[in-house]
Structure 1
Amino acid sequence: MPKTARPHIHLVSDATGETLKSVAKAALVQFQKSQEEVETHTWALVRKPLQMERVVEAIAAMGGLVLFTIVDQELREILVKGCAKAKLPIVPVLDPVIMAFGKYLGEKAVNLPGRQHEMDAEYFHRIDAMHFTIAHDDGQHLEDLDKADIVLVGVSRTSKTPTSIYLANRGLKTANVPIVPGLIIPPEVEALKNPLVVGLTASPDRLVSIRRSRLISMNQNTETAYVDDDRVKEELMIARKLCAKHNWPIIDVTRRSIEETAAAILNLHNRREEQRKQQNLGFDGPKE
């Protein structure tokens, strides 16, 4: 590709294209110099030969790299032959994964367009989790907090709400409760037995910076206890002592993205669920 040309990436799907978008995004972040220049085109719900022919014409006119998740053989042939004629690189994103699964499971793939996006029980489970999480944001509706899968606690501006929403999108009912200076933690939180409770923390400098920016954006006074260095350190110490008292794991979000924080929480949740399964089966681990 000439250095003056704008790079194009084409995502061709017989469904919504969300799978391809996720793959492309995950790959592009590895190329710091190029990711902002790339122009991405999503060709979704391509399910008829005439549609595919038109898509191929448009792709050939622009050029670029083609990623696809088409499962219909006739449509694949139109796309592959069209790209070969235009001398464009093409990547069947799901093929290696489906082949590996088929070989391991000893079963042939169904090859139905958009099957991964069917509105099945898992979809409605995620919606239910999202409703629960929104209703239990910032310490609301404590009366049924024990129905949560995960409860996040932490002082102000430790990313509790966005992390909760991310986890809800993964199907986990996630509540979050703030730790506020001068106020005791609600007894409903300390009495929790079923949910995994995780404390979120951050460095004092980071918290002060975020809080100050928050106050500025709201045109409020920035010289308050809310952004006082010593007061923030005291808040964090109180939060750490509370988590230590109840043996709640703590995650420092200072240098983590929301996705990274959520991944760490998911690991804790999965490990806990596995331990529960083993206990239910009567396995308590190795004897000393």
Structure 2
Amino acid sequence: MPSLEIIESGVSHTEAKGILILWPSTGGNARSFRIRDSELITHGLRLIRFNPPSHGNSDGIYDPKVAISLLYDYLKAKQYLNHRLFGIGHSGGGAALLLLAKQIPFQKLFLLAPILNSVLSLKFLYESDSIEEFSRLLLQPEVADDEFPNNLILNTLSNSDWLVTGKVDPLSFPIKNTRIQVASLAEFLRNLFLPGFQVSEGDLAHHSEVTIFLPKEDKWFPKENTIQFAKKNQIRVVEILEAPDHFFSRSWLRVWNEIQAIGW
């Protein structure tokens, strides 16, 4: 059982009118989202910042299915499933919350550029010549690009052959940097991309009200796919044109204000 970092704040469990769960992007950190306690108190919310395995100070290796199960077990053990539930998920974390909503009745989900298909995301990065943005999130700090293990990571991921062959065993070594810590990079890649995970229309829990936020430009997942998915399933889409990229750089507070305006 991995040691999980789950940070709670806001009103007490007994006073909470709702439980707000925050799931960061793959490789992200739930601590990075600025939400004031005073705002949580105003809305009567208890906030749960969930760092799944290999995120933040949580150990283990990230596997979306395992992480969904771990969060479900935590919410059940804390008796939070009896409350009104809300979720904020970014990127892969947004997709994970959609899948979790099949098991628990979220009132509302707010998803920032959800990656609805992990393999499609990688292929899109390759097609747009942006794969290095992904590769560099996995590098060992204070090691030159031409030195082990960074040279092996960059060379292996420089083209998409590994998505077809599944040959990632040479990357079976640990990585720890400010974004991610894994005992085996190879296992991390297998869990996410071989064969990968996706959200289909059949996975949607129609009892949940969903809002998707999209940036002006997204190199990590095709916006057209997300917009089409939303239209088919009557999901509200809000484009934050001041957000320059997939990570909503310098734009989180705008998104948070939009969420508060939609309400609880």
- TM-score tier after normalising by the smaller chain length: 0.3 to 0.5
Bigger Cα Rg: 1
- Give the number of the structure with larger relative contact order, counting CA–CA contacts within 8 Å between residues 6 or more apart: 2
Question: TM-score if structure 1 supplies the norm length?
Answer: 0.32
Structure whose residues are more often strand by fraction: 2
